[in-house]
Amino acid sequence: MELKLNRLNSFSGRKGPLLLIIMDGVGIGPENEANAVYLAKTPTLDRLCRSDLFCQLQAHGTAVGLPSDGDMGNSEVGHNALGAGRVFDQGARLVNKAIETGKVFETGLWQDIIKRSREGGTVHFLGLLSDGNVHSNIAHLYAFIDQCASMGVKNVRVHALLDGRDVGEKSALDYVIPTEEKLRKLSESRNLDYRIASGGGRMKVTMDRYEADWEIVQRGWQAHVLGIGRGFSSASEAVRTYYEEDPGITDQYLDPFVVVDGQGRPVGTMEDGDAVICFNFRGDRAIEISRAFTEADFREFDRGPLPDLLYAGIMEYDGDLHIPPRFLVEPPAIDRTVSEYLCAGGITSFAISETQKFGHVTYFWNGNRSGYIDESLETYVEIPSDRIEFDKAPKMKAVEIKDKTGEMLKSGKYRFGRLNFANGDMVGHTGNLKAAVEAVETVDKCVGELLAVIGDMEGIAVVTADHGNSDVMFTVDKQGRQVPKTAHTLNPVPFAIFDPSFKNEYCIASLEMSKNGAGIMIGKELGNYHVLEMIGKGGMAIVYKGRHKTLSRRIVAIKMLSASLEGDASFSERFFREAEVMDQLRHPNIVTLYDFIEENGHYFIVMEYVAGKTKRPEARSVTTSSASCTGT
């Protein structure tokens, strides 16, 4: 399919560049003492919020492809949606479907895992023990464990990474104890050997990302694979001991631990013939440990003797580099990204952030693909992040990002740029309110300085966020105590267009009208047609009334495939087939097909418009026995 950006007839653009600024973790929450965004001095954001070119967007749940509106958004799915301009089913939703349908247990890979267990091997599950639904979901782990038990797998070991970030900061025992109990009951009732074998806090053990600190991965390797680490009789004992030794410590920073037997021997080392499943569905913090398990020429640290293991990810974590080589659930196929269109049009661009979010403005933005789309047109800049806890330096690398962005804009080489300020998210995760306020103020100041550059260059800036975080820094429990909140929020995020040359050439669409794409085309031109109004909406498509631009008396119906389904190849194919069938039909009682249009990644069927009324009142008035004859 040819990728082509069509110029808008109603807007000629601006002399200067377009800059997209993503204020990571900056949501719009209740105006109270728990909201670092509200408490911070943010003259730039305040000014943008007063603009006519401002609205609030939902950045969690079904709006970004997650299973339900109770699921918090995250930077990965947020940048997927921003970079694709469309919504795709994401991690948890894909895994949910695979488990619910049983398809994941029908794969050849699952059969290979079971085969190893029947030949005496142990099945190991490694991942974040949490229901945060950002990196993993404990329900998935439980489903896999139950399937192992039902298939008679004798030995299972769980290597439990502790969260404290996407869930309560000291909630580890809420997950460890039920898991230990579940494994104990299965073992006793079915004569199996199921146990937790090792673990540790996610920021200290295993879950490094972007090669920021390979020692984190090495600590995990030593605990999970080799059984090297501080020994405890159970995971719950490990957590309680660490809490007692340092009352201020939170789960994400707990040291590694190894569960040992009465003689002090580790109960869950990984041996020849075993199988390992990483049950994290999000890729960024699963890539490095996956490389350690699967790369023959791995050089980041000394692994020691490498056992003969079958390693599988619950998903593929890097689609270009194919990490890991084997995985259980197919990832979303994200195509036709913004960068692909820009490169196809010969438009120069840059992407910049610090290490913590660099992958988001590149890999995730580009549809989970590593590297450049076209290196001759694109420049990627990574500013190395600090290697300390982020509340100790809440400014992070915002100033450096701002300075380098200004330099690239002023060079005149680039028509489009995108950047991510990580402060609101990474400092928000620490639960430190004072530091989060400073983080937000830093970002606001940097955004203001960049808007000044854009103004001088007669360009446009779009300012938004991928999800909330710093907008709720604590909650209050039943005893009136403040409980730090380190997870993302369900609050909306800001979306503002900064355009000093604005002369009412466009406007922010009404969110009520444009929900689910319903009003997104009203007033626009589509090929030879003006779109006048929406006349119908269903689960698969939206229908508009339109007028031919030259033949003004020709009124047409324009059917648009729902934006939520455009990422699903099966629905796109159904839409194509519908148009092909209509083109072959000629009958007085069947509307005539006039055209099929593909524009900016959207698909439209243009057909004869027949004035009339809806059949809904008639359908409601008929009896149940005749209802099957009245559908339209």
Residue 75 catalytic?
Answer: yes
Helix (H, G, I), strand (E, B), or coil: what is residue 349? strand
Please list, in sequence order, all residues whose beta carbon lies within 8 angstroms of the beta carbon of residue 551, skipping any fewer than 6 positions away. none
CA atoms within 13 A on the CB side of 141: 32
Please state, in angstroms and as integers, the Cα–Cα distance from residue 56 to each residue in 76, 299, 505, 598, following that order: 20, 46, 21, 29
Residue (of 143, 127, 142) closest to 199 by Cα position? 127
> Both tokens of residue 176?
């460890």
CA atoms within 13 A on the CB side of 209: 19
The long-range contacts involving 58-63, CB below 8 angstroms and separated by at least 24 positions, are: 58/492, 59/27, 59/465, 59/466, 59/467, 59/468, 59/492, 59/493, 60/467, 60/468, 60/488, 60/489, 60/490, 61/490, 62/87, 63/87
Name the packing angle between helices 91-101 and 138-150 (round to 10°).
20
Rounded (5°) CA angle 229-230-233: 120
- C-alpha 400/C-alpha 183 separation (Å) is 49
250 and 164 Cβ atoms separated by less than 8 Å = yes
**One-character DSSP codes across 371-389:** S-S-TTTEEEEEEPPPSS-
Catalytic residue among 51, 75, 198, 572: 75
- C-alpha 147/C-alpha 139 separation (Å) is 12
- Residue 527 carries which side chain, given as an amino acid letter? G
Please list, in sequence order, all residues whose beta carbon lies within 8 angstroms of the beta carbon of residue 49, skipping any fewer than 6 positions away. 494, 496
Name the packing angle between helices 138-150 and 172-190 (round to 10°).
10
- The torsion angles phi and psi of 235, rounded to 5 degrees, stand at -65, -40
User: Strand locations in 75-116, DSSP E?
Assistant: none
User: Strand locations in 7-62, DSSP E?
Assistant: 18-23, 54-57
- C-alpha 167/C-alpha 483 separation (Å) is 12
Please state, in angstroms and as integers, the Cα–Cα distance from residue 165 to each residue in 23, 170, 187, 202, 347, following that order: 19, 9, 31, 9, 39
- C-alpha 38/C-alpha 30 separation (Å) is 8
State yes or no: cis peptide before 324, omega within 30 of 0. yes
In this structure, how many other beta carbons lie within 10 angstroms of the beta carbon of residue 586?
8
Active site residues: 75
